[in-house]
Structure 1
Amino acid sequence: MSLWDPTNPLIRRAGRVVPALWPAPLIQGVRTRRVKNAEIHATIYSPENPRGTVLWIHGGGLLMGHPRQDVKHLKETAAEVGVIVVAPHYRFAPENPYPAALDDVHSAHHWLLTHAEELGISPDRIVVGGQSAGGGLAAALCQRLHDEGGVQPAGQWLFCPMLDDRAASTDRNPIWDADSNALAWRYYVNGNPNAPYAVPSRRAELSGLPPTWLYAGSSELFYGEIVDYAERLKSAGVPTQCEVVDGGVHAFELWAPHTAAAKRLLMSSRAWLQSTLNALD
């Protein structure tokens, strides 16, 4: 079992508290505010004259994490691309298994739609994104929104997404290994992995989903499932850009954002986001 042993409640508690202490860079022109009501509990990063919105879902194996852990990436994205970034909290397994987390981010998306005018953005210019478990939730949310009809996301922006509970890897990464991953999925799906939207990769039909950007590190646990999902999206006719970072480990852009590889990846991801919004002009 990895250092982040999901069976240890103290480890899970630490994984929910420590990321909330992440230092936030001061970026000129980006305002921060928080909103908490019956529909959403989130931090919002707003630039001047926004041209779109990113609903960002943080990672943490469906068991832990905090929106603040991505604050540097989110504030820089807000400033560079000119988007409002809304980063909601969501409930965790095992205390709150599926569909609690998905319901929470779905509720956040609904809040965004109903407050678009107040935020100064168009409802059809919302991109759903996330990292790791958050990337998996973003993919699941896009599937659910597709089936519900209505205003669809302009894109899905998936950083090393956690997509499949059936991963065959025997990876023994000390931070998050195959055993930890399997247990996290077991906590989350609570005996029903085939429930709609519980496990994104289990969905057979992917046509009609929004344009997609996603990446995988070649040295990470999720490499196979990410590349497979990308190929299935392409086969279903979904415009898809999949980047593989040679030698990249899971979520390295979070842990080592100042490395050359992380800077290249983030630059490319924001270029895709920019071009996706440009296509809507």
Structure 2
Amino acid sequence: MTGTSGLRFYNLSHRWGHGMPEWPSSPGVNVAVRKFHAKDGVYETEFEGIMHRGTHMDAPLHVRENTPSLTGYPLWRFFGTGVAVSIPKGKWGIITAEDLETATPAIREGDIVMINTGMHRKLADSDEYYAYSPGLYEEAAEWLVERRVKMVGVDVQALDHPLGTKLVDHGPGPSHPHLMEEYRNETGRDVMKDFPYWEIAHKTLMVKGGIPGIENVGGDLDEVTGRRCTLMAFPWRWPDGEGCGVRVVAVVDPDQAFRFETGDQGPGR
């Protein structure tokens, strides 16, 4: 979408609300219409559910006790220059530090980073998206912290690889014990030896690095992948919030796109 200023705006969020695909956890999202124009003169809906659904941001409090909530993130982390990078991965693929190091455009210190594995095109109420997706794990998360990036978004089911979550024998899991046997049959290895840590990418990015993490990025992501642009995503001002749906937006100035893509940081970096 092109605004009156000539800037081009890209929505990097999935549709949010009743009937959207959800991570295999409970409770779900329930949206009910409470008032109608014909009866009440107004239209009003009511929402019930947790915020860790669809395109949303996590806070450190989600994974570690006595750590900051959403309002613990400083505002400057939610807006800035960054990149959307293509790191295509298949079933259970791991995003590595080398993948990030060699990404195009190059990821710089202070960037906001959106990672496009291709999975956002497959968002559905399916095992393919939620149980068999690729993802981040310890090595890549450490690289992003060391690079001092500002914010990170991924187009997969969570900040962590699915085999680093409660789907297998982590925390309150396994919620999907069959995955452990499938992994052994497919690779000949023990999933708990290959993925020994529970949500280590969450903890490394948010607790260690203070980096906001956004899950289920999508929408127009392909249209800005491979580009340097302005990126933003703001959660609610919610003092006790550990997660919040966000609208992720990329903005491209056609007059400056060449400068950004060829290494000139341009004004206002």
TM-score range, shorter chain: 0.3 to 0.5
* TM-score, length-scaled by structure 2: 0.33
Higher relative contact order (CA 8 A, sep 6+): 2
User: Counting helix residues as a fraction of each chain, which structure ranks higher?
Assistant: 1
TM-score of the aligned structures, taking structure 1 as reference length: 0.32
